[in-house]
A and B are shown apart, each in its own frame.
Chain A
Amino acid sequence: MNAVWVIVITNNPDIPEGSLEAVGEARTVADSLAWSLNIIMMGSYSNALSNSIAKQDVDLIYIVDHPLLAHYSTDGFVSALEGLLHEEDNALIMISATPNGSDLAPRLAARLKIPAVTNCIWIKVGSQSEFQLIRTAYQNRIHQVYTFPSKGRLIVTLTPGSIGIAPVHNPRQSRKIAFAPNLDEQHIRTRVVALMPGDPHQIDLREADFIVAGGRGVKNADCWQSLVILADILSAPLGGTRPMLDAGLIQRNRMIGQTGVSIRTRLYLAVGISGATHHMEGVQSEAIIVINSDRYAPICKYATLGVIGDLEMILPLLVSRIRTLKGAVHPENQLGV
């Protein structure tokens, strides 16, 4: 049987967006080759999340549920998949290039002795029914095009966020099959002992979910200090614009914008930032809170919530109010194994 497979790793209660992107891309490839589209759900939430995937336009869903797969481990996941992906098939196996997906894909490829192409942003089917895989290299400065005949097996990882989630054209209830892998605890050598949020002072801005940033509007040291404290109590990394870098208040790797770091966050708190094009080119955020004294600043166009007022008054009060609210809640308790 020829099939496009998508492996979905579900170790938290949200459906991974990268996997939904992969499902959409896999649907296009499967349609071009008239192959079937099979999904493999693995991890502790595979049962719970299989309903969301079942509404997508897919043929079969394998639910691989096992107590030893509750947390991601290379040995456990590779062994479970080895039993599921049969040798005689022509198969394109797709995995979202999350840290766990990037860990799993090459190891699985080496175990199954099949090639792997990682960090693809586009998978096309050529006129000879061959796969054309476009991947980024040299830190996104070039694109490489690989071709591979659609005979045999190939593993591909897809960079999350590069494609977008496809609309579902033929939603239907897909068939689910439970698959019980034969796993032995002795063979799983690595053990997850804790999950925790990253230290906001150390993590890369590109990794962050929520960022607090300051710009030229933060005029004096007291005001900047309030912003630093605000970032600390919100457990958010602190970034800034070029004037803040020039003033020596932030490091080079904390400058956000076209010539600095490009961020992709869920929430961005921009304080005293005008929102010039060079800055906004590096900002992609689901929601932006703006605190600014100028109601005509370009950033206000992007604001989900824009607060116009004096930063020197707002910041200290905001800090003290949040501090009271946060009380004794420790950030390390937000996640747990």
Chain B
Amino acid sequence: MNYIELIIEVCSWVFFAVGLFFACVGVLGYFKLNDVYSRQHSAGLIDTGAVIFISLGLLLHAETLVVGFKIFFLALVLIYASLPICNAFINACLTGKVKNQYGEDLKQDGEKNDDN
């Protein structure tokens, strides 16, 4: 086997491993953490870390340019779709006055939570 091929193969599997690590940590946190905010944080880990690293690993395996472009585009859409959803979800929880695990109201009265 060619050296370059070997390096690409090893790199892609390293990327897969890192992505899987993020996914496992995210799922574990999703089941273990206590309130909706920290759970959303771990779900966000899956949306960013796992998606980015697994698609990087897949990119190294892409045989033609078209397939690579499709994977890149897919990852971009996933990230741009899921991160605003995380934000919207947390904003909805804050607006609905969902308490965190210590029973605190995170949104104070009169505070504007959804500015830049």
A, B assembled together: no
